Amino acid sequence: MEKVYIDTNIFLNPILYDINKDQEAKKSKNFLEEIITNKKLGFTSVLTWDEFIWIIRKTLGIHVAIEKGKKFLVFPNLRIVKLSLTTINRAQDLIANYHIQPRDAIHAASALENKINKIISFDGDFDIINEIERNEP
């Protein structure tokens, strides 16, 4: 089964945007259903939870963030990987090599540390990283 790392925007799109009007929201929802039904093996990091909660809290309020955060933590067939000093050192190397943003570097390093070379994201900033392939859902 294909292992993929899932960027935060994939989890946010179906919550923040109307899936009937926004193609990224619809594609994200459909992709997440592939994870739920075990068609793909999904991974993300604890950083994703942080970004997810922060953005929902900022846009929809604390109560929605709490509710969605609980659901995120029990998302079916999703493995949430932890960060270590090794991961952060790898992220530092990615920043040095590609001049990317720290959060993007942490996501990429989290994937690579778990032997995943494909990230699912609408964020084109990952495209310059040679060690990882970005695909849209």
- pLDDT per position as a tens digit, 5-41: 999 999 999 999 999 999 999 999 999 999 999 999 9
Each residue's pLDDT tens digit, 61-120: 999 999 999 999 999 999 999 999 999 999 999 999 999 999 999 999 999 999 999 999
| Domain boundary assignment for the chain | 3-135
Let me know if domain 3-135 sits in CATH 3.40.50.1010: yes
In whole angstroms, give the CA distance from residue 31 to residue 49: 18
